[in-house]
Each structure stands twice: as structure tokens, then as C-alpha cells.
Structure 1
């Protein structure tokens, strides 16, 4: 698999509630993340992902754009939940074929946005 395929597969698995499988396949032992709401460990983020999926499962995770620059993959995705739609950017840093670092930024999609171009 290419790094782009790994990043997309990670998002699809984790986004469909298969967080443990996503982590066992694609996350490096020394993984760290930069989500400000949770401790920086792989375990803390995995638990948060599992808890979020149980409380408010994703109905859809669709990667709209995917970019590669050296050891970095950036995805721009649509995440649909029952209560909202979110535009999310994930930045993955790789070592070999494992994700060693992750940043994520999300923005709820406003139904009545004045911007005719949308978020995608």
C-alpha cells in the first residue's frame, strides 16, 4: 500500500468504529498526536475515537482530497454524523509505512453558509 492508501484506510477503519484494527495495522509504536482535547498517547486518542463512535457513530467518512509531500500525507474529508457534518483535515507523518504523528482539525459545516463555494 502507498502512504496515501494507508492514510485513507486508517480513516475508513477508525471512522467505521474499527479503531483497534486501524491502530494495529497502521500506527507505529512511538506514535503521538496533537489533538488538544486528549493526552498525546496512542491509547488516549484510540479511546477517544472509540468513545465518540459509540456515542455518535459516523454515517460517512469520505476523503475528498489527499496530498503527499515527503513523509507527510494530508487528507481533507467529509465526516457525516447524525447531528452534524464536519470538514476535517488530517495531517499524517510517516516513518516507513507506519503513522508516527497525527494532527487533526475540524470545522462543522453550516447549512446556511453564505459562501457559495462550500468547504470542498
Structure 2
């Protein structure tokens, strides 16, 4: 059986969270001692889990498409396109996940609203 790499674990985790399977994603992929750097929530595992569950419940029809994955071993960066269902706003999002023993132990995330009138014909992706 082939061993699953951290890039695959990262994309499975983020896809499950975006699809609303937040608690299952945490149970499978996130270490108990997980910490994160999202400026809007306390840094502990449970606070972000609850916030992600609330987001999934409030906006179940959002679209999340992974565009690029950069795997450097214990750290994986995932660049994604987020389309919110409730408002006509789209975002380019980067998640950086740090792994230990096949589990996510630390995460950073940042996003940028995609302008509708950008002069860059290449776009964000």
C-alpha cells in the first residue's frame, strides 16, 4: 500500500472542510495539540473547528477549488479559489499546513479578494 503524502492529506482536509465535513476532517487529519495563526480566533484547535463548522452551516453552497499545491515535506502550501454563495465575492486563499507524524499540527491562512476589474489579464490563477 502506498503511503499518503502530506500534500494529499492537506488537500483532503481542506476539501472536506469546504464541503462541510469539518468535524470528520479534524478527527482524521488534525492533531490534538494543533494550533493556528488565524487572527480572528483564539489559536487553539477547538476554536477554529467551531468557527469552521459555523461557516459551513451559514454558507453550505460555497465553492472551493484547489489550484496549486507546494509540498516541502513537513510544510504544505495550498493555493485555492473560494467562491462564496451568499455574496458575489471571490477570494484567492493560501493555507500553509505543518505536519508531524501524518497529522496537521499548525496552520496559517490568508486570503485576498479577487477584484472584478483587474488590469492583469492573467488573473489570480
Report if the CA contact (8 A) 1:58-1:79 is conserved.
Answer: no
Give 2:116's aligned residue: 111
For residue 67 of structure 1, the aligned residue among 61, 65, 70 is 70
Structure with bigger strand share is 1
**Equivalent residue of 1:113, what SS?**
coil
- Using the size of structure 2 for normalisation, the TM-score is 0.91
Report if the CA contact (8 A) 2:23-2:49 is conserved.
Answer: yes
Q: Distance in 2 between matches of 1:29 and 1:49?
A: 16
Q: 1:58 to 1:41 in 2, by over 3 A?
A: farther
- State the Cα distance separating 1:96 from its structure 2 match: 1.4
For residue 13 of structure 1, the aligned residue among 8, 11, 16 is 16
Q: Distance in 2 between matches of 1:118 and 1:34?
A: 27
**Equivalent residue of 2:40, what SS?**
coil
Give 2:56's aligned residue: 53
1:74-93 per-position Cα deviation (integer Å, ceiling 9, x unaligned) = 00001111212111000000
- State the Cα distance separating 1:70 from its structure 2 match: 2.7
Runs of 4+ in 1 over 4 A off after TM superposition: none
Structure 2 spans left out of the alignment, 5+ residues = none
Aligned length: 120
Report if the CA contact (8 A) 1:58-1:80 is conserved.
Answer: no
RMSD over aligned Cα, in angstroms?
Answer: 1.0
Give 1:85's aligned residue: 90
For residue 5 of structure 2, the aligned residue among 2, 17, 23 is 2
Report if the CA contact (8 A) 1:93-1:102 is conserved.
Answer: yes
**Which segment is superposed worse, 80-89 or 5-14?**
80-89
